[in-house]
Amino acid sequence: MEKAALEWRNVVKKRERLDLGPVDLKLYENYITALIGRNGSGKTTLMKLAAQLIHPDQGQMLWFGETYPKGIPVEIRSQIAYVPEHYAAEEDGLKMDDAAKFRASCYARWDWQRYEELLHRFEVPGDKKLNKLSKGQRRKFEITAALAARPKLLLLDEPSSGLDPFAWKTMMNEIRRCVDEDGTTVLLSTHVVEEVRRMADYLILMDRGRSLGMAEKDLLLERCREVWIPQGEELLDELPGIVESAVEMSGMVRFITLDYGATAILLEEAGVKPIRVRALELDEVMEHWMNGSMQLTEAGMKQE
Amino acid sequence: MRIPVQINESSAEPLYHQIESQLRSLIVTGQIAEGTLLPSIREFSADLKCSVITIRRVYQDLENEGLLRTRQGTGTFVTKVDTDDREAYKRQIVQDVVRELIDTARSVGYTPDELRALLDETLREEERR
């Protein structure tokens, strides 16, 4: 059985604008999990719980299988890096390298070589004060510092906001490379579909403070297809997972199924050859998932 | 290093299976040479925009077939392919395409004789070129 780097166990948290939970989720070691959902669905609250910036009202948080209600000890803290959506103001007056020195003192595995290398690749000029950096530069510094810490658990709250497309691509490559080298577990909250496609192994969908479950990305995407067949509207009643269908011109039938594997087998048995099959985009998949049309079972969403 | 694997999203074939059969074919036909170090699981998955879970499964399956070998700390390598296997495999690839051809011909109402005639004619045309 795979080990969990992070776990929300029956966690409830009341916030000003949101009641979160109860949430039960696990992040398995060495995977990248994307946290997706609309604004205000509870993604940042989950992140803050994971960074222990806030404590649950009920339930427990577990880091590497342990719970630390009185505060995460220094040696464990030093294995967790967090890039928040909004930065704390305390470091603002510091020069970049001084801020880095401070962080190096918090992280036992801090890697100066990686720090220099990443700043170079991100083309961030050294020696500036943090509050003098542009939004994008500040973001690059924060990501650099998080990766230089060589964390075992990396929490990224919308890391791509403020980055231009080139910096964004570099960021994804570097995160991936570091994660690969260090065996890091990553929680990545994002609205960027392409980021999910390129980075994620698992997806967690949040909706109004609730988790709609966790799915293996490839299995989820593989199930969702738009199919065109020459005719045979009557077939639709027998096909599984149909969420949308229409009779188009010349009697052609178009439908969306969330269970393409079983659908393809039934079509073949009926001797029907699809005219066209299209994979749904991730945002379309998310929509059906949010509508509750997707039946997610633990077993159905994991490869054996 | 990149590997020329192309995912067909309209195929009903599961993703891991598509990647596996294409990678197997590249290895057995010798297009990826013996001893080649393959990309790490994370790299390959990013390249194909799929999850590491899928790629791990592919590497593991091909390792079980003896086509790949993983050395702790260095990575996954292509092993030596037997000549008999290679010949059998080439045949297999062509046969798969022929099956598809038969399928398509049947779906538009061609008889076996008509298909044979068309195949012969096309072969002759290709030879004349």
Shortest CB distance from B54 goes to which of A200, A218, A264?
A218
> ∠ at Cα A13 (A3, A216), nearest 5°?
35
Yes or no, beta carbons of A303 and B53 under 8 Å apart? yes
- Each domain of chain A, given as residue ranges in start order, spans 4-218, 222-301
Q: Which CATH code for domain A222-301?
A: 3.30.70
Yes or no, beta carbons of B51 and A201 under 8 Å apart? yes
CA B77 to chain centre: 17
What are the residues whose beta carbons fall under 8 Å from the beta carbon of A294, sequence distance 6 or more?
Answer: A220, A258, A285, A288
Averaged pLDDT, B78-85? 82
Contact B54, A303 (CB under 8 A): yes
In B, which residues are within 8 Å of A180 by CB distance?
40, 42-43
Tokens of A9: 């166990």
- Judge if A4-218 and A222-301 fold alike in CATH terms: no
In B, which residues are within 8 Å of A32 by CB distance?
52
Instruction: Please name the residue of chain A whose CA is at the shortest distance from the CA of residue B14.
Output: A222
Contact A57, A22 (CB under 8 A): no
Q: Which class is A4-218 in CATH?
A: alpha beta
CA-nearest of A192, A174, A96 to A142 is: A96
Averaged pLDDT, A195-205? 92
What are the residues whose beta carbons fall under 8 Å from the beta carbon of B15, sequence distance 6 or more?
Answer: A218, A222, B7, B50, B54
Q: Any idea what DSSP says for residue A7?
A: E
Chain A, residues 208-247, CB within 8 A of chain B, namely: 216-218, 222, 225
pLDDT exceeds cutoff 70 at A144: yes
Tokens of A99: 């801020």
Give residue B13's pLDDT band: very low, low, confident or very high (50, 70, 90): confident
**CA separation for the pair B9, B7 (Å, rounded):** 6
Averaged pLDDT, A74-95? 86
Beta bridge partners of A225: A257, A279
What's phi and psi for A302, nearest 5 deg?
A: -130, 135
Q: Any idea what DSSP says for residue A78?
A: T
Q: When comparing pLDDT for A299 and B57, which is higher?
A: B57
Q: What is the pLDDT of residue A300?
A: 46
Averaged pLDDT, A242-254? 87
In B, which residues are within 8 Å of A174 by CB distance?
none
Bridging pattern class, strands A58-63 and A210-216: unpaired
pLDDT exceeds cutoff 90 at B84: no
pLDDT exceeds cutoff 60 at A164: yes
Yes or no, beta carbons of B15 and A218 under 8 Å apart? yes
Averaged pLDDT, A133-137? 86
Dihedral sign, Cα of residue A99, residue A104, residue A107, residue A109: positive
| pTM (predicted TM-score) | 0.84
Yes or no, beta carbons of A218 and B12 under 8 Å apart? no
CA-nearest of A170, A82, A186 to A119 is: A170
Burial of A236 (0-12, 13-18, 19+ CB in 10 A): middle
**CA separation for the pair A248, B12 (Å, rounded):** 23
pLDDT exceeds cutoff 80 at A49: yes
Instruction: Annotate chain B with DSSP letters as a single string.
Output: --------TT-SS-HHHHHHHHHHHHHHTTSS-TTPBPPPHHHHHHHHT--HHHHHHHHHHHHHTTSEEEETTTEEEE----HHHHHHHHHHHHHHHHHHHHHHHHHTT--HHHHHHHHHHHHHHHHH-
**CA separation for the pair B14, A242 (Å, rounded):** 19
Helices A96-106 and A135-148, packing angle to 10 deg:
30
Burial of B43 (0-12, 13-18, 19+ CB in 10 A): buried
Q: When comparing pLDDT for B32 and B80, which is higher?
A: B32
Burial readout B86-123 (b: 16 or more C-beta within 10 A, e: otherwise)? eeebeeeeeeeeeeeeeeebeeeebeeeeeeeeeeeee
Instruction: Please name the residue of chain B whose CA is at the shortest distance from the CA of residue A201.
Output: B51
Yes or no, beta carbons of B53 and A200 under 8 Å apart? no
A197 close contact with B: CB closer than 8 A = yes
Beta bridge partners of A20: A13
In B, which residues are within 8 Å of A200 by CB distance?
51
What are the residues whose beta carbons fall under 8 Å from the beta carbon of A177, sequence distance 6 or more?
Answer: none
Yes or no, beta carbons of A260 and B51 under 8 Å apart? no
Averaged pLDDT, B11-37? 89
What's phi and psi for A242, nearest 5 deg?
A: -75, 125
